[in-house]
A and B are shown apart, each in its own frame.
Chain A
Amino acid sequence: MAIGTTGVTLREAGDGDRVGGVLPRWVALPESVREVAALLRACSQEGLAVVPVGGGTKVHWGAPPERCDVLLDTSCLNEVVEHATGDLIVRAQAGLTLAALADRLARAGQELAADAPSGAGETVGGLLATGLAGPRSFRYGTPRDLLIGMTVVLPDGTVARSGGKVVKNVAGYDLGKLFTGSYGTLGVIAEATFRLHPLPAERRWIEVETGRARVRELAAVLAASQHEPSAVECASGDGVRVAALVEGTAAAHRAEALLRESGLPGEVRDTAPAWWDEPLDGTHLAEVRCLPSRVGAVLDLAAEAGAALRGSPVTGRLWLHARDPELVARLRADGARVVLLAWPDQWSDQWSDQWPDRTAANGPEGIDRWGEVSAMALMRRVKERFDPARTMSPGRFVGGI
């Protein structure tokens, strides 16, 4: 067994290592980029399928893999390789938790402005592999906008780097963006370099309550405000709670002014509302993406179905916690993109390791997990070039990639 001779720590997998119900044979714990390369090279020689995993907070997202021989656990790749405080950049290994990274950066008065609400243990690699965006993406962009360089390992063990450690850089293709949000299907993200921001001097939140019919208008006012909120979020229930974060210099003063602009009674507070960054747990979770002007319609459809929605009415990214295939279909018919992130596959309920005839079209409960993808043909060609033998997280991503 070639993977046994790579020197990488291996153990036999147990039930707790299942990915979407699929039981891997081994769990590998590489401790360096070189070990990741040696492991992948050995796996590719033996035709073994590999699924990378970081903290495991989102390992159940996406479709279950068609095959999973080796679970590549990045948790031993947990170093900060370089933190150049004067240059506001950090280079970190993929298995470093975002919490540990934040602690380290805070000591220098800096932060990585990524705030995806995915819970304790989330790693740099997991953030990038899912490309998950949090509330503050309204101001700072999604993880790919903060990424300035990446080191990846291809299925054949090739180590490749793109970007660099300067923010302004247009040399070569941006492989980092291609790998961000690729769900482990192109290779393994080994290291990433990010641009940082100074920790805001102050933070203030405003929170108001309004009716669904008024959310769109209110969100437009907040988004256009020259008091520049960093995030605007909403949570629907009986009414809709809308909150905005103002941070940086003169945040308190600006938050007061923003609240006045909203024209609604509410309060300025120095902590986030409890619902602001609740972790994304639960068995059924979907991400809804729509134009901000369609958020009202999305809220209406969810309310009619009795489903709870939370997310940003200004970026048009919302979280749906509901097992409701009909609602998914109605939202898609209305023009929204709906991606079923956590949504157990009907096969996984059986905890079966072998699923003959399984194809991506057979999504959970008969719905396509990803919805329509306009450039699917090009995506397949990219997958074929990077992973011709389909050993990286096979079947997990769009179109059964």
Chain B
Amino acid sequence: MTALDELVARLGEVTEPITDPVRLRTYECDGLTYHRATPGVVVLPGSAEEIAAIVRLCAEYGVPFVARGSGTGLSGGALPRTDGVLIVTSRMRRILEIDLADRRAVVEPGVTNLAITEAVREQGYYYAPDPSSQQICSIGGNVAENSGGAHCLKYGFTVNHVEACEIVTPDGDIVTLDRTDPGYDLLGAFVGSEGTLGITTKVTVRLSRAPEAVTTVLAAYESVEQGGAAVTAIIGAGIVPAAIEMMDALAIEAAEAAVACAYPQGAGAVLIVELDGPAAEVEQQFAQLRMICADAFELRVAADAEERAAIWKGRKSAFAAVGRISPAYIVQDGVVPRTSLPRVLASIDRLSAEYGIRVANVFHAGDGNLHPLVLFDDAEPGAGERAEAVSGRILDLCVEHGGSITGEHGVGVDKAGYMPKMFSPDDLDTMQLVRCAFDPRGLSNPGKVFPTPRLCGEVPGVRKGVHPLVESGEAEQF
């Protein structure tokens, strides 16, 4: 019997495990379907205590575990282990407390991002981070990935809106990490650690007051360069819009084919700018924006919520929409300093021509977060490899320009190999110290984020004999 078999035999003490191969297969990937692995066993616990008991069993048998929320992640962060336990939090979806006086809500990890906003919208509040999967993605997953969204230019990311998390540590202890506690900011380190430091079992989020006014503008330009110049001018004028999004001609074509968003004909780029805040402020900033966008060949202003939704429709459908114009595609996520955008986009054009691979560009222009959609025909021999190459070269461009290999999708299993392009061995070893403090045996979501983690206790640069964990079969050395 393997360690996993022995563990499965005892899981029933805590919760009924899923072992049926057909049901296990439904959990074999997250939103990044390119990577697949059938989990050894799946559990759907109903409480923090159950998760703690499961994790303690994993620790006892030395079996790795992976946490999963709604499975919408785009970097394979919730890719299961064939030799491990997949802990799915989707049954834990109660909103435990809403405290408008203190502007906070306490929720279980399986609660969806949007459900929090829906619970407080009528009172004039909302939960600010808005990843595009917000209708289904879970708050526990948001904490793991430090999710952003279109509006994080002004409002920040998950880490800026989480006040406390109750977690189950890789030892199986239930611990609260609270922003107001004295001591190290373990909460700040935990948010965005992609499930490698433990499992979130309860989240206290900050609620934001809805703005008095929102103005959404769509500006159509003949070229991406013109659109980019407008972005620079907006930021240069001291305006911090809630969002600035841009799409190029190919992305517009796809959105048009998919949802008939009726963006201006012949646009080489469209810019969506959303201003929000006090009405007096929005009004003045809108007047400035009109001047800045004077060279746009068409400017549309949403008069109401319906028109705002119409403007956003094309943008929000963009990822899925490219399926209409290409049999297969890769969604990339990289960041460059905003001022490098024009040069990086020109380089992407050259890469596209060099490899004969089309790239549709959709991006959060305000913060330089690119989402190039690399299009290819998977029936064509070699096309997938060329698309992969273009996708990888785009990340190289991001690093060369001082940016990041991921702005919001996370490293997961997909980009672990790119981490050494952005960080030195010393940087990665230092991050590993945090991992070793939380999870010395490396059982919590192993194989994610870091390319070849050093074993805890191993002295950098010195490798002698066989590590005891390797000898006992508890760990692998790469």
Contact = CB atoms under 8 A, between A and B. Distances in A.
Interface of A: 84, 86-89, 109, 131, 141, 144-145, 152, 154, 158-162, 164-175, 177-178, 180-182, 186, 197-199, 201, 220, 223-228, 248-250, 253-254, 289, 291-293, 316, 337, 339, 370-371, 373-379, 381-382, 384-386, 397-399
Contacts of A109: 238
Given A162-B427, A172-B449, A382 B180 contact: no
A162 B211 contact: no
A170 B145 contact: yes
B236 interface: yes
A374 B182 contact: no
A171 B405 contact: yes
Interface residues of B, number: 86
Nearest to B336: A166
B103 interface: yes
7 contacts: A168-B367, A174-B159, A178-B184, A178-B186, A254-B278, A374-B177, A385-B434
A379 B184 CA distance: 6
Given A168-B367, A171-B419, A178-B188, A160 B427 contact: yes
Contact of A87 (B281, B337, B404): B337
Given A161-B427, A378-B437, A141 B160 contact: yes
A375 B404 contact: no
Contacts of A371: 182
B284 A378 contact: no
B465 interface: no
Given A89-B337, A171-B406, A181 B185 contact: yes
A383 to B, nearest CB: 8
A401 to B, nearest CB: 8
B306 interface: no
Contact of B437 (A152, A201, A337, A384): A384
Interface in B298-313: none
B240 to A, nearest CB: 7
A167 B185 contact: no
Nearest to A388: B433
A289 B179 CA distance: 10
Contacts of B434: 173, 175, 178, 382, 385
A181 B187 CA distance: 12
A174 B238 contact: no
Nearest to B180: A289
Among B146, B177, B183, B424: residue with most chain A CB under 10 A:
B183
Contacts, number: 236
A174 to B, nearest CB: 6
Interface of B: 99, 101-103, 124, 145-146, 148, 152, 156-157, 159-160, 169, 173, 175-178, 180-186, 188-189, 191-193, 209-212, 232, 235-236, 238-240, 277-281, 283-285, 335-339, 364, 367-369, 402-411, 415, 419, 422-424, 426-431, 433-438, 449
B44 to A, nearest CB: 27
Nearest to A185: B184
Nearest to B160: A145
A87 B153 CA distance: 12
Nearest to B428: A172
Nearest 4 interchain pairs by C-beta = A177-B188, A198-B238, A160-B430, A226-B212
Contacts of B182: 337, 339, 370-371, 373, 398
Contacts of B277: 228, 248
B183 A379 contact: yes
Contacts of B415: 171
Contacts of B148: 168, 170
Contact of A378 (B124, B152, B438): B438
B186 A375 contact: yes
B175 A378 contact: yes
A109 B101 CA distance: 36
Nearest to A181: B185
Contacts of B240: 197-198
B169 A378 contact: yes
Contact of B186 (A158, A170, A379): A379
Contacts of A374: 175-178, 181
B212 A376 contact: no
B184 A382 contact: yes
A374 B279 CA distance: 43
